[in-house]
Amino acid sequence: MLPSVQHCLAHLEKQPDTAAISGKRLLHCCRVFLSELRQAILSGERAGELTRPLVLAELHHFVQDYHRPSLRRVINATGVIIHTNLGRSLLPPELGELLSTTASSYSNLELNLKTGKRGSRYNHVEALLCELTGAEAALVVNNNAAAVLLALETLAKGKEVVVSRGQLVEIGGSFRIPDVMARSGAKLVEVGATNRTHLADYQVAINPETALLLKVHCSNYRIIGFTGEVPLSELVELGRAHGLPVMEDLGSGCLVDLSRFGLIKEPTVQETIAAGADLATFSGDKLLGGPQAGILVGRKEIIRRIQKNPLNRALRIDKLTLATLEAVLRLYLNEEEAFARIPTLRMISEEADLVKDRGQRFVELAAGPLKDTCHVELCRMSSLVGGGALPAQDLVSWGVACKPVHIKAHQLERWLRQTTIPVLAKMEHDTLYLDMRTIAANEVELLLVSLQQALAQKTL
Ligand SMILES: *Cc1c(COP(=O)(O)O)cnc(C)c1O
């Protein structure tokens, strides 16, 4: 009963939106569609209800979807600011031109313009990173997981690394400190208990095989109650006494003090360096608010050794990342500028009243268009920083509670993910919530368009 490929092609060539797609591509789409449908029929997943017009309508919808670019813009209404699944930090929109020029022009990526000789791509950000963090030297790689792997491989391959048992973090995906350690060829020596580790625990673990003392920031979890960690400065003292380097994986790596906005105090990179860490690693796209990158700062001798590791070549940073990272770091040269222009910092520090105004504007805008399909109401919410930063910190926020009239909220949630600009919302107690903290001022109208599209969706 399934139509032939020829029949499918003839149907698609008559539709205005698929007619422009090349014949070869349409043929490929038809084959994929028919093969998936055949599979679904054979497995009993699809039975009796199929008719020729229905199959052709499904084909048309399938091709529209299949031919769309896969990586697309979405609206983040979850209230999680650094959302790994949604691309973590947003770059300042004004970097668009820099990105496009760097991408489509030649650059002095690895050329010293003064001498005309070969230069290093790392030079473009090293001095800035040193100025901002107080470190002697710096290096940037693909991401922080790469930074940690590279550092351990360079400093401790075949040797022992001492870490507190309470700091063996899993970031999500597959990054776990014990696994990365194993891959680097270093041997993990866990000390202390889950909730408490003392200086003496590190002391007794040190032996001639020890190469490094490692501290890992408990990014995405907190141990509360009867707890204790050894402060970095004491670990540094111990390391010095035994001639061992001390490294801290900061995870988020913040360059500004967020406690002035009433947030829980996180150690800044500057403080980590000032406390004497020989090496610190952190992400470019978490609290820093830049592109995906891994940043290593620390003592010159250590950074140079890491830089020379052949593995570095496999983890190197690309020019577009480097260009945007430099631009974002330059914003930090003036802290007010950083807070005003780096979206991650702006969203974290935005006053709740301004978030509320945006919610109010949306409710007013939506009142007419949605009056028969969805109840919308301004409500208090709490946002999260995300990205494994400040897990215990709720940010007071405002959002919109949506109760659709004709469909269930979870259905609306699903359809919102399939609109032209998909919207990721928050579901709770059969109500759909849109947190306005992560929605930019210029997205309020777009949000309404997506909501209207989702509410008008017919079951397929
Ligand atoms: C996020 C994180 C990483 C991994 O960083 P990516 O930039 O995602 O590779 C490593 N360590 C800690 C402590 C982290 O929080």
Pocket test for ligand 1, best of 143, 171, 179, 222 (most atoms within 8 A of CB): 171
Ligand 1 atom closest to 173 (CA): 8
Exposed (0-12), middle (13-18) or buried (19+): which is 243, by Cβ within 10 Å?
exposed
- Indicate whether residue 88 lines ligand 1 (CB < 6 A): no
Residues found in the chain:
460
Report the pLDDT value the prediction gives residue 458, as an integer from 0 to 100.
56
What is the pLDDT averaged over residues 265-278? 95
- Residue whose CA lies nearest to ligand 1 atom number 11: 251
Residues 6+ apart with CB under 8 A from 3: 11, 34, 52, 55, 56, 59
Tell me the CA–centroid distance for residue 235 and ligand 1, in Å: 21
388-415 pLDDT, tens digit per residue, is: 778 778 899 999 999 999 999 999 999 9
Q: Which amino acid is at 244?
A: L
177-223 pLDDT, tens digit per residue, is: 999 999 999 999 999 998 999 999 999 999 999 999 999 998 788 88
Identify the DSSP state of 32. Answer: H
Q: Helices marked H in 255-298 — which ranges?
A: 269-274
Tell me the CA–centroid distance for residue 284 and ligand 1, in Å: 10
Pocket test for ligand 1, best of 283, 315, 321 (most atoms within 8 A of CB): 283
Confidence of residue 459 (pLDDT cuts 50, 70, 90): very low
What domains sit in the chain, N to C, each tagged with a CATH number?
A: 5-67 (no CATH), 75-87+347-459 (3.90.1150.180), 95-341 (3.40.640.10)
Tell me the CA–centroid distance for residue 252 and ligand 1, in Å: 7
Pocket test for ligand 1, best of 140, 175, 250, 296 (most atoms within 8 A of CB): 175
Whether the Cβ atoms of residue 395 and residue 384 lie closer than 8 Å to each other: yes
Instruction: Write the Ramachandran bin of 387: left for phi over 0, alpha for psi from -120 to 50, otherwise beta.
Output: left
334-380 pLDDT, tens digit per residue, is: 999 999 999 999 999 999 999 999 999 999 999 999 999 999 999 99
Indicate whether 173 pLDDT > 80: no
Structure tokens at 422: 């998909």
- Residue whose CA lies nearest to ligand 1 atom number 5: 144
Instruction: Calculate the average pLDDT of the chain.
Output: 94
Whether the Cβ atoms of residue 126 and residue 141 lie closer than 8 Å to each other: no
Instruction: Look at strands 75-76 and 160-164 and give their pairing.
Output: unpaired
Tell me the CA–centroid distance for residue 144 and ligand 1, in Å: 5
- Indicate whether residue 219 lines ligand 1 (CB < 6 A): yes
* Angstrom distances, CA of residue 133 to CA of 128, 271, 292, 397: 9, 8, 19, 31
- Residue whose CA lies nearest to ligand 1 atom number 15: 251
Structure tokens at 265: 């105090």
278-333 pLDDT, tens digit per residue, is: 999 999 999 999 999 999 999 999 999 999 999 999 999 999 999 999 999 999 99
| Separation between Cα atoms, residue 352 and residue 354, nearest integer Å | 5
